[in-house]
Structure 1
Amino acid sequence: MAADFDLTLDCADAKVLAEFWKTALGYVDEPPPAPFTTREEWLAQFDLPDDDSADDGAWLCDPDGVGPRLSILKVPEPKTAKNRLHIDVRVPGGGSPGERWARVRAESERLVKEGGSVLEEFGGHHIVMADPEGNEFCVAAASA
């Protein structure tokens, strides 16, 4: 049996990054674990430093329960190097290679409008992008 897993992104601004990744992945804010009704209540059970707040993190999930959860956590140090692990955003839909590539380009353009940036384009295959804090990810067509 395969293990469940979550992905975690370190960041400087959890709210900004959460909004970007909700848009990019179609994810939603994950509700706090039962019996808590807010993230603030849930966080209060931990012995966190006084300057920590619920705004220092975001917890996202696939509304269909299929994809991994994504935690976005504020850290004090800045990003300094290329990611060793990155997310591939797969654009759905079949059709010809040209049609699939047009959807990949349209998705990358949409994500640029949301604060992402294009780093490199591998024509017909995938586009390497960065989120608003410079975390690299790729946009590619879903497997046919």
Structure 2
Amino acid sequence: MTIGIDLTLDCADATLLAGFWRTALGYVDEPPPAPFRTREEWLAQFDLPEDDSANGGAWLCDPAGVGPRLSILEVPEPKSAKNRLHIDIRVPGHGGTAERWARIRAEAARLVAAGAVVLAEFDGHHVVMADPEGNEFCVAAGPGGG
């Protein structure tokens, strides 16, 4: 039996980060769990502090239902160190090293336009990047990307 996972990113601005990761991954806003119509209704069932609301987070999912869900939650403390776990964005397609590297660099450029920054390039293999709040991730060829 396998266990499913969700990924959670702590942040200062959930709206900003959710917008970036929607663009980066092609994800959509996840609807609230049934039978709730809104996130506010869902959160009301928990004994949360008064200042805790759905406005402090975003919940994204793969529209095809394949990738892990992504929760983006606002926290008061700033990011203080390098991520110990990071996301790898895998660029699909086949071809030789030059073709694969061109696809990786094109994807990195698309993500820079969406608000990411390039931290390092490992020529022909992958690009290390950071999202708008400094969370590191990599862009590399996908499985079978030959």
Shift of 1:45: 1.3
Match of 2:32 in 1: 32
CA distance in 1: counterparts of 2:47 and 2:112, whole angstroms: 39
Please list, as runs of the form range in 1=range in 2, the aligned pairs for 1:1-144 lying within 5 A after superposition: 1-144=1-144
CA distance in 1, matches of 2:112, 2:24: 10
Aligned residue pairs, count: 144
Aligned residue for 2:124, secondary structure, equals coil
Shift of 1:52: 1.7
- Structure-1 separation of matches of 2:84 and 2:108: 21
Could you tell me how far 1:103 is from its partner in structure 2? 0.7
Structure 2: gaps (5+ residues)? none
| In structure 1, C-alpha distance between the alignment counterparts of 2:16 and 2:48, rounded to whole Å | 22
Deviation at residue 82 of structure 1 after TM alignment: 0.2
In 1: Cα distance, 2:61 partner to 2:100 partner: 26
The one-letter code sitting in structure 2 at the alignment partner of 1:60 is L
CA RMSD of aligned residues (A): 0.7
Cα separation, 1, equivalents of 2:21 and 2:69: 11
User: 4+ runs of 1 displaced by more than 4 Å?
Assistant: none
d(CA) in 2 for partners of 1:59, 1:17: 11
> How far is 1:143 from its partner?
2.0
- Structure 1 gaps, min length 5: none
TM-score scaled by length of structure 2: 0.96
CA deviation vs aligned residue, 1:8-55 (integer Å, no higher than 9, x gap): 000001111011011111111100000001111111111221222211
> Higher mean Cα deviation, 95-104 or 83-92?
95-104
SS of aligned partner of 1:4: coil
